[in-house]
Structure 1
Amino acid sequence: MTVVSRKLTSVGLAAVLSAASVAAMADVMVGGAAMLPSKDIIDNAVNSKDHTTLVAAVKAAGLVDTLKGPGPFTVFAPTNAAFAALPAGTVDALLKPENKAMLTNVLTYHVVAGQWDAAAVRKMIMDGKGSAMIKTVSGGTLTAKSAGGKVVLTDEKGGAATVTIADVVQSNGVIHVIDKVLLPK
């Protein structure tokens, strides 16, 4: 298994992707809104109708300034449907001020230092002979595998999320939309 510890800079990203691929990413639509590579993670996320719960959680955790920072960050962004699939009351409980530390831990478990596009993640999986261990900003680990041509992330509790939209390039990183909320230990 490969452990992610290096950063892929924007210069490295350009080497991995062709100019046509980068240009095509500018037209990525998420939640009915164009995701512009000139905007940061927060400025794009607030426009996605599919990520209102994530944006509310990021605000409640006080992570807006961090995710507007220079990064680069790779964010595995759960949709509203992913949050809705959690047990009843989970999101409301996490958004309470007294649970800010727990919420922060859950959110930073979806963030990886560096800019990891889908090609780089797939290469790590290949290099790891079918799986790659990815360290998150929270200090936890995600396991990445390929299934049916898609990247599947497994959390430390055994829950799995599939990347449904990859390579949403931001000025300070990249977002990969996922269909489940990943949970740390």
Structure 2
Amino acid sequence: MKNRNIKHLVLIAFAALALGSCKDQAKMDADKKAMEEKVAMEEANVKAEEMKVKEEAKQKEMMATSISAIASNNPELSTLVSAIKAANLDKMLSEPGSYTVFAPSNNAFEKLPKKMSIAELGKPENKELLTQILQYHVVSGVITSDKLVEAIKGANGKYTFTTVGGKDITASLTGDKITLKDEKGNKTEVVLGNVKASNGVVHVINDVLLTK
């Protein structure tokens, strides 16, 4: 009887040890899992921060070579830059996108009548008109000089395309020069083409294009 009790106590002790051992193992497994999850989260946070830094650097580089930045760095386009800012279009031409801009030089703006001078167009009451004029110089997508010449030849000498303002411009060739005709019938030439930007391409022209 005594031996039986001793055996019973031994079995209970082993059971208690086994139970304690299981609990310890479960705790160890839980601690290990928690640690692994913490490490994984920290690694994910580090990667996310690295991606953020890279994206910010990429964005900064893109803006530094955007259409707005290129125009701002060209003293011959300072009037255009002032007009773009007055019409609040500088943000659009600084952000990622794909545009072709026919950029009137300072001399081009000087040819406009006094009532359409940049001083007049820059007034708040003329902002809508200024915006329409500037949008008439912007086309969605990248059209290089080579592509434009190819399109002109493919259209029997006259290629018409639509600007972001919904108005048309007709391009043709005068010798080896690209000529643009606006809706008023006025013509201008591309004097400097294929100025590449991170969000498109710029062609400098020597007149301001006008709609009807």
TM-score range, shorter chain: 0.7 to 0.9
Matched ranges for 1:46-125 at <5 A: 46-91=72-117, 92-125=119-152
Counterpart residue type for residue 73 of structure 1: Y
Quote the Cα distance in structure 2 between the aligned partners of 1:50 and 1:90.
19
Q: TM-score w.r.t. structure 1 length?
A: 0.78
Aligned residue for 2:14? none
Counterpart residue type for residue 57 of structure 1: A
* Same amino acid, percent of matched pairs: 43
Cα distance change of structure 1 residues 150 and 93 upon mapping to structure 2, 3 Å threshold = same
Runs of 4+ in 1 over 3 A off after TM superposition: none
Matched ranges for 1:150-161 at <5 A: 150-161=177-188
1:165 match: secondary structure: strand
Matched ranges for 1:6-17 at <5 A: none
Considering fraction of residues, name the structure with more helix.
2
Q: Which has the larger radius of gyration?
A: 2
Cα distance change of structure 1 residues 124 and 37 upon mapping to structure 2, 3 Å threshold = farther
**Uncovered stretches (5+) of structure 2, i.e. residues with no partner:** 1-61
Say how many residue pairs are matched. 150
Q: TM-score w.r.t. structure 2 length?
A: 0.69
CA shift, 1:148, in A, is 1.7
CA shift, 1:161, in A, is 1.0
Aligned residue for 1:20? none
Quote the Cα distance in structure 2 between the aligned partners of 1:97 and 1:88.
17
Considering Cα pairs closer than 8 Å and 6+ residues apart, tell me whether 1 or 2 has the greater RCO. 1
CA shift, 1:89, in A, is 3.7
CA contact (8 A) 1:157 1:184 kept: yes
Aligned residue for 1:126? 153
Cα distance change of structure 1 residues 178 and 62 upon mapping to structure 2, 3 Å threshold = same
**2:48 aligned with 1:41:** no
Considering fraction of residues, name the structure with more strand.
1
Aligned residue for 2:194? 167
CA contact (8 A) 2:107 2:206 kept: yes
Q: Deviations over 1:68-127 (max 9, x none)?
A: 121210000000000001112412221101111100000000000000000100011011
**Uncovered stretches (5+) of structure 1, i.e. residues with no partner:** 1-35
Quote the Cα distance in structure 1 between the aligned partners of 2:85 and 2:151.
32
